[in-house]
Amino acid sequence: MVSRWLVSGTLGAVAALVVVAPAQAATLQYWWFDAQSNQLIFTTDGSVQPTAQMLANPTRVVVDLPNTQLGGSTRRQSVGGNVREVRAGQFDAQTTRLVIEFAPGYSLDPQAVRVQGVRPNQWVVQLPGSTTNAPGNAAPPTGEATPATITPSGNQVQGNTGTGAAATLNRVTTTGDGFLLHMSGTAPRPTIRFSGNGPDDQVAVLDLPNTAVATTLRPSDLPNFRYSIRTWEVVQQETNPPSTRITLRLAPGSPQWRALSNSSGVVLLPPSGVPISSVPDEPPPPTPVPPVSEVRPTVPVLPPGRPATPPIRPTTPPSQVTVPPTQPTAPPAMPSIPSQRVVVVIDPGHGGRDPGAVGIGGLQEKQVIFPISLRVAELLEQQGVVVVMTRREDITLDLQSRVDIANRARGNIFVSIHANAISMSRPDVNGVETYFASESGRRLAAAIQSNMLAATGMRDRGVKQARFFVIRHTNMPAALVEVGFVTGAQDAPRLADPAWRETAAQAIARGILQYIQQGL
């Protein structure tokens, strides 16, 4: 489908902006007003085309997100100075509304306000000048350093030459357990420290010795607004050899991140025992948006990467935007595969109302295998494999639906990922085992099992034949791996550890790639 962005009418226009909402409702995932850069930043989980307008009594900028749900409790952020507060709420059943309300007596030229698209699901409302001082009470400059470049995402990348070091930071992605800093070369030994002056002013400083930053890394590529990280500042320092410092501005509720090296680069993980699901994507909550009906001049809404242009009238409705993926950097430890189209179906077991097995300390099977499955998919995609997942969310899915998804996708391989369990009175039972149903899946199961054993050192419970529904009814070589026992005294702490899950994901992906490499 050909996709287009619309530029809205000018500020002087009174008519409402004409937009066509996406067919599937989006959810507002995160918003935050950054007083330092005078920006309201927000992200959704799908493409949106916001509309914006200026309203009076009190003076405020209203941004409506059509066909979008709030995604949680309503909330308010007090700012101070010329901006009294920013709030979000569900304006009606189809519209989420963001409101920037100004202090009494403050006047604003609507034409100086810009709503800029960074990505189809990431937007910035840029206010003019300084809004941090109340009217008539201008304060002298504080002397604080101003960032060299302010981007719509709030992120910064500086000094990136991409050369002269043992490792190069190529990109950063969000995983099911935290963040992965993809690197080529020899990954460094990272160090991380924390500082701040209160819950709303916390930073984490990550130092990467002997590491350069790729020239292709852009501020908009950095995944802020996830897992309580507001912004990323990546600076290649003028040391010999080059080193890289990453400063993360943290929202309240952010954990004390750990930084570990692996074969793909450096991973950022929450503390051991802290599930990533407990790390919020957004700042603390508060109250609803009051209804607003008075219409005033509209505010220009600009698409990503485009300057302001004269208003245009669409001849056809805008369609949903598709952003092409960035070129991934292949992890060095993964086997290469033939240059042919290969479709792998990854099936994270259980989900939604079905937690699967529940083990020591209440550890749920679905909490273990879902991040592993997402990471396996990412690793395979980095190698050029087409990945179809039976679910990418914590939803309930019956066995027949999983089989139908795989067969409709005409996958070359099907891998279902699970965790094992036995009676809580048998913590001595531990280990990994992999199943196949027909002979076509035996070699695939063996490749996954051998790589899991090599990577984790777990007890070998063998490669076994079984008549599990999902591997018996899929029309392709299929395997089901049980990555360990949630009831096992040895296995349960491993399964709860994000660093171990990263190791397991790499092992499963490596086994799949070896199977492909040896011939489907």
**Cα–Cα distance between 407 and 412 in angstroms, integer?**
10
| Same-domain check for residues 369 and 461 | yes
| Same-domain check for residues 500 and 385 | yes
**pLDDT at residue 118, as a whole number:** 65
Kindly state whether residue 114 falls inside one of the protein's structural domains.
yes
pLDDT at 301 over 90: no
Stretch among 111-125, 176-190, 256-270 having the lowest mean pLDDT: 111-125
Percent of the chain with pLDDT over 70: 75
**pLDDT at residue 48, as a whole number:** 83
Kindly state whether residue 313 falls inside one of the protein's structural domains.
no
| Same-domain check for residues 364 and 503 | yes
pLDDT at 133 over 60: no
Q: Is residue 415 a contact partner of residue 478, using CB atoms and an 8 Å limit?
A: yes
- Cis geometry, peptide bond prior to residue 290 (ω within 30 degrees of 0): no
**pLDDT at residue 92, as a whole number:** 84
Question: Burial code of 17-26, b = ≥16 C-beta within 10 A, e = fewer?
Answer: bebebbeebb
| Same-domain check for residues 267 and 288 | no
**pLDDT at residue 160, as a whole number:** 82
pLDDT at 46 over 50: yes
| Chain mean pLDDT for the chain | 77
| Same-domain check for residues 507 and 371 | yes
| Same-domain check for residues 194 and 116 | no
Q: What is the DSSP letter of 309?
A: -
Identify the residue with better confidence: 458 or 285.
Answer: 458
pLDDT at 275 over 90: no
What is the pTM for the complete model shown? Answer: 0.43
| Same-domain check for residues 118 and 179 | no
Largest Cα–Cα distance in the chain?
80
pLDDT at 284 over 50: no
pLDDT at 151 over 70: no
Tokens coding 368: 């273990």
Distance from CA of residue 477 to its chain's centroid? 31
DSSP 18-51: P----SS-EEEEEEEEETTTTEEEEEESS----E
Show contacts of 12-18: CB within 8 Å, 24+ apart.
12/111, 12/297, 13/297, 13/298, 13/311, 14/295, 14/296, 14/297, 14/298, 15/298, 16/51, 16/53, 16/295, 16/298, 17/51, 17/52, 17/298, 17/301, 18/314
Over residues 458-462, the mean pLDDT reads 94
| Same-domain check for residues 172 and 240 | yes
- Residues 6 or more apart in contact with residue 192 via CB below 8 angstroms: 204, 205, 206, 207, 257, 258, 259
Domain CATH code at residue 69: 2.60.40
Identify the residue with better confidence: 393 or 336.
Answer: 393
**Cα–Cα distance between 25 and 8 in angstroms, integer?**
21
**pLDDT at residue 483, as a whole number:** 97
Number of domains in the chain: 3
3-state secondary structure of 364: strand
**pLDDT at residue 503, as a whole number:** 93
Tell me which residue of 369, 467, 380, 376 sits closest to 420, measured CA to CA. Answer: 369
Q: What is the pLDDT of residues 463-519, one digit of tens each?
A: 999 989 999 999 999 999 999 999 999 999 999 999 999 999 999 999 999 999 888
Kindly state whether residue 93 falls inside one of the protein's structural domains.
yes
Domain CATH code at residue 480: 3.40.630.40
Predicted confidence band of residue 337 (pLDDT cuts 50, 70, 90): low
Which domain-ending residue is among 248, 271, 294? 271
| Same-domain check for residues 49 and 92 | yes
Q: What angle do CA 344, 347, 353 make, to 5 degrees?
A: 160
pLDDT at 134 over 70: no
| Same-domain check for residues 129 and 240 | no
Q: Is residue 404 a contact partner of residue 388, using CB atoms and an 8 Å limit?
A: no
Highest-confidence range of 56-60, 333-337, 361-365, by mean pLDDT?
Answer: 361-365
Highest-confidence range of 44-53, 227-236, 345-354, by mean pLDDT?
Answer: 345-354
Predicted confidence band of residue 332 (pLDDT cuts 50, 70, 90): very low
Predicted confidence band of residue 406 (pLDDT cuts 50, 70, 90): very high
Over residues 166-181, the mean pLDDT reads 84
**pLDDT at residue 313, as a whole number:** 29
Kindly state whether residue 278 falls inside one of the protein's structural domains.
no
pLDDT at 21 over 70: no
**pLDDT at residue 288, as a whole number:** 34
Kindly state whether residue 331 falls inside one of the protein's structural domains.
no
Catalytic (active site) residue 482: yes
| Same-domain check for residues 252 and 290 | no
Kindly state whether residue 14 falls inside one of the protein's structural domains.
no
Stretch among 23-27, 118-122, 247-251, 308-312 having the lowest mean pLDDT: 308-312
| Same-domain check for residues 352 and 478 | yes
**pLDDT at residue 12, as a whole number:** 35
Distance from CA of residue 12 to its chain's centroid? 37
Distance from CA of residue 431 to its chain's centroid? 31
Q: Which of 365, 433, 482, 502 is catalytic?
A: 482
**pLDDT at residue 331, as a whole number:** 37
- Residues 6 or more apart in contact with residue 379 via CB below 8 angstroms: 264, 331, 334, 505, 506, 509
pLDDT at 450 over 90: yes
**Cα–Cα distance between 200 and 460 in angstroms, integer?**
48
Structural domain range at position 162: 156-271
Kindly state whether residue 5 falls inside one of the protein's structural domains.
no
pLDDT at 23 over 70: no
Kindly state whether residue 328 falls inside one of the protein's structural domains.
no
Identify the residue with better confidence: 161 or 224.
Answer: 161
Predicted confidence band of residue 308 (pLDDT cuts 50, 70, 90): very low
**Cα–Cα distance between 328 and 152 in angstroms, integer?**
23
